[in-house]
Amino acid sequence: MSQHHVIPFKTYMKVAAALVALTFLTVICHELHLGPLAGPVAFLIAAVKAALVLLYFMHLKYDNMQNRVIFGSGLIFLLLLIGFSALDIWTRVQSMSTL
Amino acid sequence: MGTAAHGSNSNVNYLNEFKGIKSWLLSLDHKRIGLMYMISILTFFFVGGIMALLIRYELFAPGKQLLSPDQYNQVMTYHGAMMVFMVIVPGIPAILGNFFLPLQIGAADVAFPKLNLASWYVFMFGAAIAISTFFSTKVDTGWTFYTPYSIKTGTAVVAMVLAAFVMGMSSILTGLNFIVTVHKLRAPGMTMFKVPLFVWAIYSTAILQVIATPVLAITLLLLAAERLFGVGVFDPALGGDPVLFQHFFWFYSHPAVYIMILPAMGIVSELISAFSHKVIFGYKAIAYSSLGIAAVSFIVWGHHMFVSGQSEIAGVLFSFLTMLVGVPTAIKMFNWLATLYRGSVTFYSPMLYALGFLFLFAIGGVTGIMLASMGVDVHFHDTYFVVAHFHYVMVGGTLMALMGGFYYWFPKMFGKMVDDRLARMTFVLIFIGFNVTFFPQFILGAMGMPRRYFDYIAPYESLNKISTMGSWLIASGFLLSLYAMIKALKSGEKAPSNPWGAKTLEWQTSSPPPHFNFDKKPTVTGGPYDY
Ligand SMILES: [Cu+2]
C-alpha cells in the first residue's frame, strides 16, 4: 500500500513547542485588549495552531491528494455553517427584528 | 417459494458457536454486536414508548389527569431525547446496518471489528449518563435544549448534553466504520453500482454521521461551557446570540433527520424489489438521490427558525432551498412505484410495512413542503401540525421501515420463521393506530393548538381523545409484535436460507449465518436485483 512517511521525533517536539508558544501568544494578545481586533486575532492564532496539528500530527502534509481533498471538503461544510449563520446576523433589520 | 441454499448445512452458526455472557460482551462479530444494539435500543424504545403513552394519557382531557405540569415537561423531554438520540438515530444503522451491511457486500465482517464493539460501549455509556439524569434533577428543556432557557433552568442539562455528546461519538465511529467497509471490503466483482440499495443508503447515512455530528458535539460543549463558566456565546446579557444556538443545533439536527430516514429508504428499496420479484426501477437514480438528499440536507436548517427572529433574507433563502429536498425524495417515490408496476407483488408482512411506509411518508413529506413555505409556517409553527408532520416522517417512515426490515430479515438473523398471519395483524394495528393518533393532530394544529403544552381548551378535546385512543392501538400492535417474535424464537418453523426468494447476497448463506458469514467467499457477477 502507500509509503508510510515517518516523521522524526524532533519535528514533533518542535511543533509541540510552537503550539505552546502560540498559546502564550493568545494570552498576551488578550492582555493587550485589542478591542474589535481581539476576536479576529484570537481566531487567526487558533487557525495556525489547528493547521500545525493537521499538517504534522495528523500527517496531512505527507498524505496523498485524495485524503487532502476529503479533508478540504470538510472545510466546505464549516464554511456553510459559518456563512449562513453570518448571513442571518448581518441581514437582520434591527428596527424590525425581535432580537 | 425459496431457492436452493448455497450456504453450509452444518448447524454451527454465529448464535451457537460460542456460549456464555462473555462471548457476547466481548464479541467482535458484527452480527452479535448488531443484536446487542437491538436489545439495548428496543429497551430504550419500550421506555420512550411508555413516555409517549403517558403524554397522550395526560392529554386525554383538559386539566390534570396523571402528571403535574412539571412532570409533563420532563416526560415530554425524555420521550423526545430518548426516541431521537437512543432509538431512531442509531436504530437502523446500528442494528440492521451492522448485521446486514457486511453480509450484503459479501464481507466477513466490518472493516474495524474492535471499533465496532467500542462504539456499542460508547453508546451504552452515553445512554447510562442520559438515564442517570432521570434520577437526579430531570431535564425539562425538550430534546432541542434551546437557549436561553437551557442556560437558566436548574436541571441536569449539562449531564444530558454530555450524554448526547457521547452517543454522538458512537454515531461517528459507526459511520466511519461503515464508510471504510463499503470502500474496502466488497466481494470480488461487486462494483459500487452492484451493491444493494440498502448499502447505498447506509453509506450516505454514514457520511452524514461523520460530517454533521461533530457540529452537534461542539454546540453542546459550548452550551455546557456557557452554563458552567458563563462564556457569552448564546446569552444576550453576556453579548451572545440565542439564535446562534439554533443555527448550530439545526446544522446537525436537520441532517440528523436524514440520518434517521435514509436507512429506512434503503430498507424500503430492498423490500419493494424483493416482494415485487422485479428488478428495482432506476437503481442509479435511487443511489444518487440518497447522496443528493445527504448533500441538500446541509443547506436547509433555517426552516426550523422562521419565527425565531432570523433575518427575512435568510428565511426566504432557507425556504427556497428546503423545497429542493422534495426533488430527490420524489425521485425515490416514483422509482418505488414504478418498481411495483407490473411486478408480481406478494403481500407478506414486510411488504405491508413497506407499502405503509410509502403511504405515510408521502403524507409526512408533503406536509414538510407545506411547512417549508415560510408564510404558511409562520402560522403552523409550534402547533400540533408540526408534531403530526414529523411523527409521520419518523414513525410512519423510519419505524415502519424498521419493522418491515425486522420481519424481512428475522429468518436470517435467528433462523426461525415468524407466523406471518400474526405479523400482518401487527401491521394492521400499528398502521391504523398510527393514523388515528396523528392525523387528528394535523387538524388540531390547523385549529391552533400549540405543541408542548400540558393543558388545552375545550374545543380541542374530542380530537385529543381520538388521538389518545390511537396511541393504545399502536401500543397493542408493538406488543403483539413482541409476542410474535418471541413465539417465533421459541417455536417458529426453521427458516430456509432464502425464504423470500430474494437475490441479494445475505440470502445465499445459511440462516442463521456462520461466524464469518460465508463458507466460501462469494464472487459477484450480476446485479443485486436480477430477477
Ligand atoms: Cu429540518
Residue A59 shares a structural domain with residue A84: no
Q: Which residues of A touch B313 (CB under 8 A)?
A: 87, 91
Torsion of CA B6, B8, B14, B15, to 10 degrees: 100
For an interface test with B, the pick among A81, A88, A99 (most B C-beta atoms closer than 10 Å) comes out as: A88
Residue A48 shares a structural domain with residue A9: yes
pLDDT computed for residue B236 by the predictor: 84
pLDDT band at residue A71 under the 50/70/90 scheme? confident
pLDDT computed for residue B323 by the predictor: 93
b vs e for B516-525, b when ≥16 Cβ sit within 10 Å of the residue's Cβ?
ebbeeebebe
Closest in B242, B302, B309 to A84, CB measured: B302
Q: Which residues of A touch B236 (CB under 8 A)?
A: 99
Report whether the peptide linkage leading into residue B148 is cis, meaning its omega lies within 30 degrees of zero: yes
Q: At a CB cut-off of 8 Å and minimum separation 6, what does B354 contact?
A: B267, B268, B271, B272, B275, B400, B401, B404
Residue A10 shares a structural domain with residue A42: yes
Long-range contacts of B16-25 (CB under 8 A, 24+ apart): B17/B514, B17/B515
CB contact, 8 Å: B500 with chain A? no
Q: What's the whole-number mean pLDDT along residues A20-49?
A: 90
pLDDT computed for residue B2 by the predictor: 36
pLDDT computed for residue B11 by the predictor: 76
Average pLDDT, chain A: 86
Residue A12 shares a structural domain with residue A50: yes
Domain count for chain A: 2
Separation CA B368–CA B322 (nearest Å): 9
CB contact, 8 Å: A1 with chain B? no
Residue A14 shares a structural domain with residue A48: yes
Selection from B82, B240, B89, B85 nearest residue B150 by Cα: B240
Residue A1 shares a structural domain with residue A35: yes
pLDDT in tens, B223-268: 999 988 988 889 888 888 889 999 999 999 999 999 999 999 999 9
Q: Among all chains, which residue has been given the C-alpha cell 444530558?
A: B160
Residue A46 shares a structural domain with residue A14: yes
Q: Determine the residue of chain A that is closest to B243 in CA distance.
A: A99
Residue A56 shares a structural domain with residue A12: yes
57-96 of A, contacting B, C-beta below 8 A = 74, 77, 80-81, 84-85, 87-93
Determine, for residues A80 and B299 on separate chains, whether the beta-carbon distance falls below 8 Å: yes
pLDDT computed for residue A96 by the predictor: 65
User: Are residues B145 and B161 in contact, defined by beta-carbon separation less than 8 angstroms?
Assistant: yes
List CB-based neighbours of ion ligand 1 within 5 Å.
Answer: B 254
SS (H, E, C) chain A: CCCCCCCCHHHHHHHHHHHHHHHHHHHHHHHCCCHHHHHHHHHHHHHHHHHHHHHHHCCHHHCCHHHHHHHHHHHHHHHHHHHHHHHHHHHCCCCCCCC
Determine, for residues A87 and B311 on separate chains, whether the beta-carbon distance falls below 8 Å: yes
**Which amino acid is located at B210 in the chain?**
V
Long-range contacts of B57-63 (CB under 8 A, 24+ apart): B57/B468, B58/B454, B59/B456, B59/B464, B59/B467, B59/B468, B60/B464, B60/B465, B60/B468, B61/B461, B61/B464, B61/B465, B62/B455, B62/B456, B62/B457, B62/B458, B62/B460, B62/B461, B63/B455
Determine, for residues A99 and B215 on separate chains, whether the beta-carbon distance falls below 8 Å: no
Tell me the pTM: 0.91
Determine, for residues A80 and B298 on separate chains, whether the beta-carbon distance falls below 8 Å: yes
ipTM of the complex: 0.82
Class of domain B27-360+502-524: mainly alpha
b vs e for B488-510, b when ≥16 Cβ sit within 10 Å of the residue's Cβ?
beeebeebbbbbbebbbbbbbbb
- Report how far apart, in Å, the C-alpha atoms of B333 and of each of B101, B257, B349 are: 23, 18, 20
Residue A43 shares a structural domain with residue A72: no
- C-alpha B258 to ligand 1 mean position (Å): 9
Q: Which residues of B touch A82 (CB under 8 A)?
A: none
Residue A51 shares a structural domain with residue A68: no
Residue A43 shares a structural domain with residue A70: no
CB contact, 8 Å: B310 with chain A? yes
Q: Which residues of A touch B317 (CB under 8 A)?
A: 84, 87
Mean pLDDT by groups of 10 residues along chain B of 531 residues? 44 87 93 96 96 96 93 93 93 96 95 97 96 88 88 86 94 96 94 94 92 90 90 86 92 91 96 95 92 90 92 93 93 95 94 96 94 93 96 93 97 96 97 97 96 94 97 97 96 94 93 90 86 85
**Which residues form the domain of A74?**
64-99
Separation CA B323–CA B496 (nearest Å): 45
Residue A7 shares a structural domain with residue A44: yes
CB contact, 8 Å: B313 with chain A? yes
- C-alpha B304 to ligand 1 mean position (Å): 6
Count of Cβ atoms closer than 10 Å to residue B343 Cβ:
17
- C-alpha B226 to ligand 1 mean position (Å): 25
pLDDT band at residue A98 under the 50/70/90 scheme? low
